[in-house]
């Protein structure tokens, strides 16, 4: 097991370096000049050149990448062109809010998705299975931003049950575990969890059905094994694939749903990323994308280790 963990850690290093190269390249390939967007229209060419020099944008791209990578390795993501604040500070504040939303939506989607998928698989072709399939197909098909708008219209505008915007009352930018702030978390959690919950449920259902069709399940039943023991073997064999899907879905949620966070004005990484794109703020855009990409790399590593712990065949392969 230790050798497998070390090997996976070594694999993660070149993947992380590749991610940094992709993030840097994508930001610079995008059209537009962030310095021109920052300075007034009457700015002279000399002023533009001076601003580019201050932000290091006058150097060749390989040099810019090497400098940026060296600074990022020690936690220095640069200074935001729009606000003048360190990018690390802005991203850190946004990450906290996104993690709160992602953990809330992740717990809801993983728990309900796992239970619904398992029940549907065990009751294959029955009424419960058809109802779960209808629910999951609807969840996968509905755009999450449309669902977010619908939730605001129903529960905030028409019923006035829940607040529509923000992370807390009185334009608070920090979340706290009290009822006033929990009310602001409910609608974003539902909108964020809808698609992952449907994907996890469908994956779990397919895994359970596939395992139930295996010959060893018939052998266990023929030997008189209690149903709860058979269920344990079914879950254990269906779990690795579901865990991989859970990891990807958690990565998507930690990455921050730009549209959902924009609809609810939730000050997370998705909202920050949208602001950076509209302002053409290269340092903020690069820093936010890098942090989100590292979340994916880290979560994939954790999922690989959890999968290997639940299924020894992965370690042997």
Separation between Cα atoms, residue 293 and residue 16, nearest integer Å: 8
At residue 244, the pLDDT reads: 76
Domain ranges of the chain: 87-316
The count of other CB atoms within 10 Å of the CB of residue 174 is 12
CA–CA distances in Å: residue 285 to residues 19, 48, 113: 14, 20, 33
pLDDT digits (tens, 9 = 90+) for 77-136: 877 877 778 888 888 888 888 888 888 888 898 899 889 988 888 888 888 888 988 888
- pLDDT score of 173: 60
How far apart, in whole angstroms, are the C-alpha atoms of residue 66 and residue 56?
12
pLDDT digits (tens, 9 = 90+) for 202-258: 888 888 888 888 878 778 778 777 878 888 888 888 887 787 788 777 777 776 577
pLDDT, position 101: 86
Residues 154-200 have pLDDT tens digits of 998 888 888 888 777 765 566 677 777 788 888 998 988 888 898 89
**Does CATH number 2.30.42.10 belong to domain 87-316?**
no
Count the neighbouring beta carbons within 10 Å of the beta carbon of residue 297: 16
C-beta of residue 255 within 8 angstroms of C-beta of residue 273: no
Q: Where are the alpha helices (DSSP H) in the chain?
A: 2-29, 34-38, 45-54, 61-73, 87-122, 127-141, 144-151, 179-212, 215-222, 227-255, 258-263, 269-279, 282-310, 312-316
| pLDDT for residue 43 | 66
Q: What is the distance between the alpha carbons of residues 287 and 72, in angstroms, rounded to a whole number?
A: 8
């Amino acid at each position: 097991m230790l050798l497998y963990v070390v090997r996976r850690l070594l694999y993660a290093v070149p993947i992380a370096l590749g991610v940094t190269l992709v993030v840097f390249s994508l930001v610079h390939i995008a059209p537009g000049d962030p310095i021109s967007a920052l300075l007034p229209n009457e700015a002279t060419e000399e002023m533009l050149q001076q601003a580019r020099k201050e932000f290091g944008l006058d150097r060749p791209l390989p040099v810019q990448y090497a400098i940026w990578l060296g600074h990022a390795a020690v936690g220095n993501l640069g200074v935001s062109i729009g606000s003048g604040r360190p990018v690390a500070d802005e991203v850190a504040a946004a990450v906290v809010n996104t993690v709160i939303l992602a953990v809330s939506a992740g717990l809801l989607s993983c728990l309900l998705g796992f239970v619904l998928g398992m029940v549907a698989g065990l009751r294959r072709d029955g009424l419960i299975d058809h109802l779960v399939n209808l629910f999951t197909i609807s969840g996968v098909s509905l755009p999450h931003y449309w669902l977010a708008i619908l939730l605001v219209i129903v529960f905030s505008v028409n019923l006035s049950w829940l607040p529509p915007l923000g992370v807390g009352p009185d334009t608070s930018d920090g979340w706290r575990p009290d009822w006033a702030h929990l009310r602001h978390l409910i609608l974003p959690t539902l909108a964020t969890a809808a698609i992952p919950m449907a994907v996890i449920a469908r994956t779990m259902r397919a895994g359970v059905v596939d395992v139930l069709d295996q010959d060893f399940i018939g052998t266990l039943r023929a030997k008189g094994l209690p149903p709860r023991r058979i269920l344990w073997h079914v879950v254990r064999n269906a779990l690795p694939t579901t865990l991989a899907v859970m990891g990807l879905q958690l990565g998507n949620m930690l990455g921050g749903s730009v549209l959902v966070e924009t609809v609810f004005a939730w000050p997370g990484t998705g909202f920050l990323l949208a602001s950076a794109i509209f302002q053409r703020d290269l340092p903020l855009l690069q820093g936010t994308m890098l942090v989100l990409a590292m979340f994916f790399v880290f979560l994939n590593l954790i999922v690989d280790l959890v999968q290997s712990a639940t299924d020894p065949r992965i370690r042997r392969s």
